[in-house]
Structures are given as C-alpha cells and as structure tokens.
Amino acid sequence: MERDALSLSTIDVPMAKSTLSFVCQNCGAAYNRWQGKCESCGEWNTLAEEDTTGSVPVSIRSKRKGRTFALESLSGKAQDAPRLSSGLSELDRVTGGGFVRGSVLLVGGDPGIGKSTLLTQATSLMARAGHRIVYISGEEAVAQVRLRAERLGLSDAPVQLAAETSVEDIVSTLSEGAVPRLIVIDSIQTMWTDTVESAPGTVTQVRASAQALIRFAKKTGAAIILVGHVTKDGQIAGPRVVEHMVDAVLSFEGEGSQQFRILRAVKNRFGPTDEIGVFEMTGLGLREVTNPSELFLSERDLGTPGTAVFAGIEGTRPVLVELQALVAPTSLGTPRRAVVGWDPSRLSMVLAVLEAHCGVKLSGHDVYLNVAGGLRIHEPAADLAAAAALVSSLVNAQLPTDAVYFGEISLSGVVRPVAQTPARLKEAAKLGFQRAVLPESARGEASGDAGLSLNAVNSLTTLVAEIAARGSRRGDQSAPAEKNATPARFRRGEG
C-alpha cells in the first residue's frame, strides 16, 4: 500500500488539454472552426489557427487560493498622480501634463508617419534631464536607432538601447538595478512570450505580451509606451482588448504629402481625450507648433471661391483652418461626394438641408470638400463654414477674406449655437480677422473685447441668400451675361 501511494505521488501533474481555435487577426474574435469571413468585424481571410491554452497545469491553477485585501470608502483625500514631463509641450498637452507612474500608453500611426522620431526625441530629452530611459526596439537594430538619433542631433543623450523581442528577457533585464522611469517598446506586434504557443504578431501573442508588460509597469511604477501598427483603415492592429487594457491610446495622424502631424488622444484615463498636439516634420525631426492656426492658414487661397475659414476648438485650444469646397457639374448618373478631413455623413446632411430648405439643387453636381493642412475635424460647429464654402463654389462667389464661420446646422435649417464662442472670436481677432459669421443665439456670449464685426444668422437660408447675391454682383462685373446667377434663378436651381 505504501509503495502504491508513493507511486501515485510521483505521477506527473496533468497538463491542460490543448485547445486549438481560429482567432481573427483583425479583431481577436475566436471560432471553433475555420471560415472565410469573420462575423465580428466583417474582414475576409483573417482567421488563423492558434493554441489558446497556456502551459500552466490545470491542478496548479485550481489549487491557488485567493488572498484577502482591505476595502476602502469613497471618502478620503484624492492626490494627483505624479507626472513625468516629456520635454515636449505638445506631447504633454495630449497626455494631460506628462506620463503618470505605472501607466501604459499605446501609440499608433501609419508606417513612416514619425512615431519612432517622436519617441526618440522625447526619450532623449527625458534622459538628458537625469531620468533612466530604456528604448527596446523589436523592428530595428541598435545601429539603426543610433543613426536616427545622430540625424536628429541626439546621439549624446544617455538613452539605454536594446534590440530584443522576448518579453521574459526584457522584464528580467529591466528588473535589475534602478527602475526605469520610462520604457518604450517598439513595437508590441514584434514581442513574444513563452506562456502561449503562437507565432509572434498573432492576436494571442500580442494580448499576452501586452499583459505581461502592463503587469510589470503596475508592479514597479515604470511608465511604458507601446508602439502599435495600424491597419489599412487606420485602426490599431491586433485585438481591441489591448486598447482596453492600457491607460491611454494616442493616434499619430498626418498625410504623407503634408509636413503637419497631429497627435490625438483617443483614450486617456489621466487626462482629456479632445486635446491635440501639432508638429511639423522637418529635416531635423519634429518641430512643435505653438500656433497651429497661423500654420494652417499660411498658404491660404485668398480670393478664390469655395474657401471659408472655420474657427474650431480642439480640446482647450482654438484652431482656425481653411475649408475648401468644389462643386462641379457631373456627367455621371450618381454624383460623386468626396471628403477629406471631415465626416462624410455630416456632409450628406448639410447637402440635404441646403436642397430641402434653401432651394440649392446639388443633385446634378459633384461635390468635393477638403480640410487644408491635413487636420481632421470632428465637431459639428464646422457645418456653417462647410455650407458657406459649398454655396460659394456653386455660384462662383468669393467670400470675405477677413471673415470666420462657425455654427451647427440642424435638420430644419436653423443655425444652432456652439460652445466656447469667446475663445473662437479671440483667436480670430489675434490672427487679423475682422468679421465673424456665427449663430444668432450666440451673440450674447460674444465678447465685445474681440473687436470683430459680428454677422449673426438665425437660419441657413439667410446666409445662402447673402452669398447668392454676392455671386450675382460679381457676375455682373466680371462674368458674361449668360452666366450670371441671380438669387431668384439660384433658388430655382438654375444658377
């Protein structure tokens, strides 16, 4: 009996049964069998076979007992989380004042947009300030990172570099000595861990690697920045659960043909999510833009029909940007509607209001709308500026070059007020504008200190009539008689 008991005690602990499933590499949804299309995200040919079972024995996992912890009440003193400044004021603005101890940030952006350049500049400035900064590159060798730092003039910064992809080795190395204040992982898609049996870059590996790094950050208090790839539609690649695990998600945006770069907070547990940071890509790296309005209007098309200046708000910062519209007769059965930098659904709504309540016939015209400078506008206050630019292009009327527009358009054609009217007017006056077209109900909020001439409109019909009349007068002076567009003909859709 004793021999039998001894033999039973030496039996190996049973391992978990291997479970294979098919995981979507785009959204992380799991299926029991392979199929061509993912039902969760709608993508085709994104399912890959993965082993979702860890290497920990079942008996060991089941024997673990939970520990007790103390419960606290809602009352008590709330202390602000200590922050570490990055040395870049635009980056600190987006993060809410700097990096919080133990926080994990996910930075995404198109390839070649400048993510590594931005992080190299930030880490170099922080290292020069006396902090221990570690830069882990999984895509480039150490020599390549050094070449970038030398090109940026930052080769003398005491940043600790490494080219490694094993999460266990990274955690073991960083645990020795003083805890780093900031760790950069470039990128999370190249990391892999021994706890899962999947290829690097798969959804399971990305999730497990991110979880191990987040656990290290919370335990030691080091701030970690994870660089993530983006898909063709601009979303951060990998499972959406990674975005829920981190404390902040930053998106680095910009057009390849433009030198402007926009850093936007998509999620932030320690700061606002509507702030933006503006950078300009130069030969010596990214330069901070302290006055984005002046930069976006530096190459403005003066005296051209179809352009209007929008006074917008990004977070707490007023930003003036030019909206460009082109309305041209179409030869297609279905007119084209192309938008760059604005919501296409918002454009469709403005076009419907113009046709239903203002008599503007655009069903036979192609419509193109562009936000100059590569900025993306998300607030509905741009409705009035977009409508003014569209009507100006249709009747070939030049809008006042010293006027700004802002206001939300309702489905009934009424111009509704928007928030932070005094800040918009103050920014416009600072840049030399003399007039402002704004909602009638916002006149009371407008401060007289701005020194602008206010043109308050209650409905979109009033603004359309003013622009149409301007177009007819301009046509009488410079256009042939047969091409004149009077307000009456314009309302009937003949203009």
Of 334, 451, 345, 325, residue with least CA distance to 397: 325
Model confidence pLDDT, tens digit, residues 220-240: 999 999 998 776 555 665 556
What pLDDT shows up at residue 491? 43
Phi and psi, residue 246, nearest 5°: -80, 170
Structure tokens at 422: 């005094």
Mean pLDDT, to the nearest integer, of 171-192?
A: 92
Q: Report the predicted TM-score, pTM, of the whole model to 2 decimal places.
A: 0.74
If one counts every other C-beta atom within 10 angstroms of the C-beta of residue 170, the result is: 23
Structure tokens at 189: 């898609």
Mean pLDDT, to the nearest integer, of 51-71?
A: 58
Model confidence pLDDT, tens digit, residues 382-428: 999 999 999 999 999 999 999 999 999 999 999 999 999 999 999 99
Max mean pLDDT among 28-32, 75-79, 135-139 falls in 135-139
Mean pLDDT, to the nearest integer, of 353-366?
A: 92
SS3 annotation, the chain:
CHHHHHHHHCCCCCCCCCCEEEEECCCCCEECCCCCECCCCCCECCEEEEECCCCCCHHHHHHCCCCCCCCCCCCCCCCCCCEECCCCHHHHHHHCCCEECCCEEEEEECCCCCHHHHHHHHHHHHHHCCCCEEEEECCCCHHHHHHHHHHCCCCCCCCEEEECCEHHHHHHHHCCCCCCCEEEEECHHHCECCCCECCCCCHHHHHHHHHHHHHHHHHHCCEEEEEECECCCCCECCCCHHHHHCCEEEEEECCCCCCEEEEEEEEECCCCCCCEEEEEEECCEEEECCCHHHHHCCCCCCCCCCEEEEEEEECCEEEEEEEEEEEEECCCCCCCEEEECCCHHHHHHHHHHHHHHCCCCCCCEEEEEEEHHHCCCCCHHHHHHHHHHHHHHHHCCCCCCCEEECCEECCCCEEECCCCHHHHHHHHHHCCCCEEEEEHHHCCCCCHHHCCEEEEECEHHHHHHHHHHHHHHHHHHHCCHHHCCCHHHHHCCCC
Task: Name the least confident of 158-162, 176-180, 441-445.
Answer: 441-445
Max mean pLDDT among 124-128, 240-244, 269-273 falls in 124-128
pLDDT over 70 percentage in the chain = 83
State the distance between the two ends of the chain, measured CA to CA, in whole angstroms.
Answer: 104
Between 375 and 490, residue with greater pLDDT: 375
Q: Average per-residue pLDDT in the chain?
A: 83
**Which domains are seen in the chain, by residue range?**
16-59 (no CATH), 85-290 (3.40.50.300), 295-491 (3.30.230.10)
Q: What is the rounded CA–CA span in Å between residue 260 and residue 278? A: 7
Residue 185 reports pLDDT greater than 80: yes
Structure tokens at 145: 């990172």
Structure tokens at 417: 């007020």
pLDDT range class, residue 13, cuts 50, 70, 90 = very low
